[in-house]
Structure 1
Amino acid sequence: MKTNIIKTLLLCGLAVSATSCNDFLDQSSDSEHTPSNVWNSPYYSSLVLNKAYGALTEDGTYAQVMAFTTSLNTDIELVDAGDAASYTAQGSERSYMNYNAVAGGWNKAQTAWDNLYTAIEYCNNVIDGLNGSSLIEGTSAESRQVQRYKGEALTLRAMLYFDLIRNYGDVPLKLAETKTDLSNVYLEKTDRDEIMDALIGTLEEAVELLPWAGENSYTTEHVTKGYAHALLAHMALQRAGWAIREHAKDGYETAAENSDPTYPTQRPGAAERQKYYQLALSHLNAVISSGVHQLNPSIADQWYLVNQRELDSKYNENIFEVPMGLNKSGEFGYTVGVRISGASSKYGPKGNSSGKVKLTAPFFWSFDRKDLRRDLTCATYELKEENGVLKENMQKNVPFGIYVAKWDIRKMNEEWRQAALGSTEKVPTGINTIKMRYPQVLLMYAEVLNELNGNPDDATGGAGLTARQALEMVHTRAFAEADKADAKAYVDALPADKNAFFEAVVQENAWEFAGEGVRKFELERWNLLSKKIDEFKETFRYQMENVYPKELYYKVIKEGNEEKIDMSSVCWYEEPDEDIKANYQKNGYSKVAWWGTPSTDTNPGKNPIVALDYISAGLNSTVKNRYLMPISTSTIADAQGKIANSYGY
């Protein structure tokens, strides 16, 4: 850990600050307090805890880098890139997300490391401080209050370390606040399995201390019992899963495919995996049986509420949302979302949202035609105001340039719109970063119950649902009422074979979580990241030649000062009749050159076939399955020889 970060924490660790009760972002301090004053006061203890929450809203943590950047690339999600240099430039996030990282490269990788450890230090302050408090063992209302604060700090710390190890591998583990003599600052790496085992233990304590969402005025902008259970289950599955290792571990299985001889991809043996599957299931059962968290019956309403920055206290589908603040933090709706190109009289003079996270053509094509998630997830157009009219302009031949439609400025509330109208600069949207949704609990449950029982139709050990029924809940929710029977028929027809059903879970994960920072890490623990990326490329080559139309025909609907694409008219899957094509404008159609249009350009930014050679090209180029980021050279230099890079960095 960096010396200057630790010194800063020593200076400010006990300085408490007045914070907003809504977003934890108004962090100002006018006095310092002694430890006994702080930790024997629920009020002052809460203010220090709020500093931990506030640290989650930095760009280097969950406003940007850990929210979506480091979750790229996968088989369905790509960082946008243009010419060859943008794929490989050493100081670029585009090169990192295409797995071409170098230790002295992208500076936000170091910022993320520093910010995560800063947030961990705040959590350690709260945990150690409250452990020494006279209130912590009591039964009074004040005691219960600080016990909840401890549970929150334990859970946040586990979440932070979980993201550290999923992005960097083995890292220093520090579970105590910094000593004034810095004797516990310069630490060596701890094996990630040991870290997860330690954190699982602390999460088991946390679930006993925390309330459910809706109790004690706790909203899903706080970590609650449901999130602690779900995070523990997720960590247990990660613990049982595959990971690239700094060295081979005795008693572990080495992957038959895609494993490096020096840095092998391994997982624990069968007996140990069984133990972690059982642990995960017990905590998933707790979430499901509680009834506190449910699916919003409307997938469209789920994402409308997210864009509105409105917490759903009826269904609590979003189990934990990192609380952002309008005009203070939050990149969803700008860096991720439907792109608006240029200024708009309705949405502000800045415009030019970057839409940096892109989805792929084979992913779009994978959806059932009636699946509402297709158009709620994939935006094949961008917005642009022309002559006072806000238009949806269908994109042309950019099969790796589909925007993530879950976040859309047209769904955002009036408070954001007025802020955007009043500024020539980017206005952070304040949209929360979702760390866990209930569909993820259901799909983890389906995965682990299928694994333990050897098939998807045995509910033994579960929460009253079979694995098939859990998957069905997620899948059928995404269809209109008139189409739910067809959706259920798809689930019913899935094979009863364990491995075949697991593949269905993997596919459902793609349809449900695209753009949300979930899939990459799941593919890693399944050891499917490289395989699925290869499949995406093979599928694209085939579909480019045999499936995609070369010209896309569609109609536009004019509504006042807006023009929208009539999605029901788009000829995605078949071309219109020849007589309509011959006089398409007369028949009310527009057309663009689309994904099937061949190109002879050698620039990957202009020729998608050429781009395939650059997309995610570094994953297996030097070390097989090297999806982890390097620790920055300056962090290593400050570590007094205690840590070094691995994996060929």
Structure 2
Amino acid sequence: MKLKLILAIIPIFIIATSCDKDFLEPDSISTFDLDYIYSNVDDARNGVNAVYSYFNQDAFRSRLSNNMTGSTDIEIGYHNGEYDNGRREIWNLDALASNNDLNIVWTYAYRAIRDANIAIKGITNSGNLNSTDVNVKNTFNHLLGEAHTLRAYWYSMLAFHFGDVPYVTEAPVAGANFFFPKTNRNEILANEIQALIDIEANMQWREAVPFSIEQVTREYTLGMIARLALQRGGYYLTPELNMVRDSDYLDYYNIAKQYSKKLIDLKDRPLPTDFGQIFLNQNKLIVPAGDDEILFEVPFANGGGDVGWNIGIRVDGGTDAKHAYGSGSNYMAMPPTYYLSFDSKDKRRDVTCGLFKVTVEDVNEHVGINISQAKWNRRLLPTPPGRESAKGTGINWPMMRYSDVLLMYAEAENELNGPTSEAQTAFKRVRQRAFNEEDWAAKVDGYVTQISASKQTFFDAIVDERAWEFGGEMIRKYELIRWGIYSEKIQETVADLKVLADKAFNGTGTGPDYMYWKNDTSGKFVILNPDTKILAAPDDTWNRESFLLRMHDDTNTYQEWILNDYNNYYNGPKPGVVRYIFPIPINAIESSQGTLANDGYQFTN
């Protein structure tokens, strides 16, 4: 049975929670005898599954996975002044402590951490880590690694969104103190990294676990060590609204290099040659056999998960639809600057950037500049979920891919030693897949030679390559933060958008002021001029859609979203600094008995 199905039927006593208690206080699970639960493999598996179950809550499936990722140089959440005490204030970086989405994320993050701590305690005290039964010993050691890795993920997200937060590593017991003060975010990250370093060698590779990439494996944990190390070694926002990084940052780049290289050395695999197939598998609900590019993806059961509902190709459904795939949209678009940043021969562009939607007539139609994340499309589901369906597509969400490991290694090696041949080789492996082999001499080898002129030029190329490789996977915000270039890249994006709009309006640009499109005889959506300006289509079979010209506004010069929706990212409380940290939810403040407060960051509440 797949893990996604197990999570759908996980015993209720494992995940039971009480809304009336403090977010750190034990719930019903603490009344069970941990010695019993962790006395055998099956019940221990259920105990760790409790931690996975929080991926199926809105805190992750629609918030952390994509809605909380804010606007970047490759994504934008259009808020247009419409506030809902939810995602729009988050996109605008002005969410208050009363924001409901912040409360959901905070609450379920700590519930996941609590259940991870319970699992860690139960496994550690069970005696099964040293069982004479090799299978039991290996399974329990791996389960311990899973619990630690999942806990580390949630602490990573809390640090990115809230900065310093309470750090709890002990399982709750009745009568204990549940009112923890804040701990420095770098202390938390350092401890979580060390915990993973201590356990990873006792974990199992993908082929030895029952649930494949729908389960945390040693591959993913090694990748998480590298990712957390780059977070710990990167920049972060202080309460005084300064972007800084600690003096020991190179120690963590060295850890990132060491553990990404460890995975490469121990479990290397070729990248699949077809970039689009990676995501087509997810849309088709296929979990590939063997060493796949995806190291871990969140398993959503049929009827669960929001992929293809609030992120992906827009599909218009409903009772009158001529298809039975339901309705889905994309809450966060991709700016035209990102689309046009791709090399015209880069095969990742059309997999990543969706320029069409599926209408109620079940035909494809151009969407103008409202570009969506094309990697996911509910219209590709193997079984139509129904005309009036929306959420619950069952499409899994990718948490890490092997190309990420290769680029993390290249980045860390460059930071430590410059663009060495090892860094260049890892970089080339990712870029080669983006182009046909006949173009490698110019687009890969020649390009990498050019960018390897210095450490800075190689770093700049890493920034670009990660944008092209991971567009729509909603990790860009965290990269821009740790690189310390968040505001800089936003300002650059806004300036470039204005230039494109000006040139389109003045008729001096070379990009597509209009795009000409049609559906061919097989129903495939085709664009005549995806990245160039043409004055007219060759015949009347083509439809015309305003593209770059749509960014101009006769009254305000530029569309409102260009002027306002990015504004707080470079002109917020401190110009030139993105205040990406949010206030701790008021519910947590009020229940903390004075141990927590929203101080610093120029919060007004």
TM-score, normalised by the number of residues in structure 2 = 0.90
Hey, what does 1:447 align to over in structure 2? 411
2:323–2:360 Cα contact (<8 Å) kept: no
- 1:378 maps to 2:372: no
Aligned partners of 1:215, 1:566: CA distance in 2, in Å?
Answer: 44
Deviations 1:75-127 (A, max 9, x none): 1101133x4x22xx37131121121222223x011011101111111111111
Hey, what does 1:42 align to over in structure 2? 41
Hey, what does 1:65 align to over in structure 2? 63
Shift of 1:602: 5.3
Determine helix, strand or coil for the equivalent of 1:146: helix
Hey, what does 2:284 align to over in structure 1? 308
Aligned partners of 1:19, 1:373: CA distance in 2, in Å?
Answer: 30
2:235–2:244 Cα contact (<8 Å) kept: yes
Instruction: Read off the aligned partner of 1:72 and give its amino acid letter.
Output: G
- 2:178 aligned to which of 185, 196, 201: 185
Shift of 1:58: 0.9
Listed as ranges, the matches of 1:583-594 within 5 Å are: 584=537, 586-594=539-547
Hey, what does 1:574 align to over in structure 2? 533
Instruction: Read off the aligned partner of 2:11 and give its amino acid letter.
Output: S
Aligned partners of 1:598, 1:555: CA distance in 2, in Å?
Answer: 19
2:498–2:558 Cα contact (<8 Å) kept: no
Hey, what does 2:595 align to over in structure 1? 642
Aligned partners of 1:473, 1:72: CA distance in 2, in Å?
Answer: 30
Determine helix, strand or coil for the equivalent of 2:7: coil
- 1:287 maps to 2:240: no
Deviations 1:512-555 (A, max 9, x none): 11111211101000011100000001111112222365752424
How many residues get paired? 575
Greater shift, 610-619 or 218-227, is seen at 610-619
Hey, what does 1:616 align to over in structure 2? 566
Instruction: Read off the aligned partner of 2:36 and give its amino acid letter.
Output: N
- 1:565 aligned to which of 525, 530, 544: 525
Aligned partners of 1:571, 1:149: CA distance in 2, in Å?
Answer: 48
Hey, what does 2:21 align to over in structure 1? none
1:165–1:192 Cα contact (<8 Å) kept: yes
Determine helix, strand or coil for the equivalent of 1:382: strand
Hey, what does 2:380 align to over in structure 1? 411
Hey, what does 1:325 align to over in structure 2? 301
Hey, what does 1:101 align to over in structure 2? 95
Hey, what does 2:138 align to over in structure 1? 144
Determine helix, strand or coil for the equivalent of 2:179: coil
1:541–1:609 Cα contact (<8 Å) kept: no
Shift of 1:349: 7.1
Hey, what does 1:510 align to over in structure 2? 467
1:245–1:264 Cα contact (<8 Å) kept: yes
Would the alpha carbon gap of residues 599 and 245 (structure 1) be closer, same or farther in structure 2, given more than 3 Å must change? closer
1:90–1:101 Cα contact (<8 Å) kept: no
Determine helix, strand or coil for the equivalent of 2:76: strand
Hey, what does 2:9 align to over in structure 1? 26
1:294–1:438 Cα contact (<8 Å) kept: no
Aligned partners of 1:496, 1:79: CA distance in 2, in Å?
Answer: 36
2:413–2:420 Cα contact (<8 Å) kept: no
Determine helix, strand or coil for the equivalent of 1:78: coil
Deviations 1:269-307 (A, max 9, x none): 2xx222111111110011111235542121021121121
Aligned partners of 2:151, 2:13: CA distance in 1, in Å?
Answer: 27
Hey, what does 1:497 align to over in structure 2? 454
Aligned partners of 1:349, 1:290: CA distance in 2, in Å?
Answer: 42
Would the alpha carbon gap of residues 364 and 48 (structure 1) be closer, same or farther in structure 2, given more than 3 Å must change? same
- Percent of aligned positions with the same letter in both sequences? 27
Determine helix, strand or coil for the equivalent of 2:573: coil
- 1:470 maps to 2:445: no
Structure 1: state its 5+ residue gaps: 1-17, 247-261, 459-465
Determine helix, strand or coil for the equivalent of 2:564: coil
Aligned partners of 1:598, 1:165: CA distance in 2, in Å?
Answer: 36
Hey, what does 1:12 align to over in structure 2? none
- 2:366 aligned to which of 394, 418, 426: 394
2:414–2:455 Cα contact (<8 Å) kept: yes
Determine helix, strand or coil for the equivalent of 1:160: helix
Instruction: Read off the aligned partner of 1:325 and give its amino acid letter.
Output: A
1:206–1:228 Cα contact (<8 Å) kept: no
Would the alpha carbon gap of residues 301 and 597 (structure 1) be closer, same or farther in structure 2, given more than 3 Å must change? closer
Aligned partners of 1:354, 1:127: CA distance in 2, in Å?
Answer: 39
Aligned partners of 2:277, 2:263: CA distance in 1, in Å?
Answer: 22
- 2:187 aligned to which of 194, 198, 213: 194
C-alpha RMSD over aligned residues: 2.3
Would the alpha carbon gap of residues 549 and 498 (structure 1) be closer, same or farther in structure 2, given more than 3 Å must change? closer
Instruction: Read off the aligned partner of 2:602 and give its amino acid letter.
Output: G
Instruction: Read off the aligned partner of 1:122 and give its amino acid letter.
Output: D
- 1:336 maps to 2:307: no
1:19–1:26 Cα contact (<8 Å) kept: no
- 1:212 maps to 2:202: no
- 2:128 aligned to which of 123, 126, 135: 135
- 1:430 maps to 2:430: no
1:90–1:102 Cα contact (<8 Å) kept: no
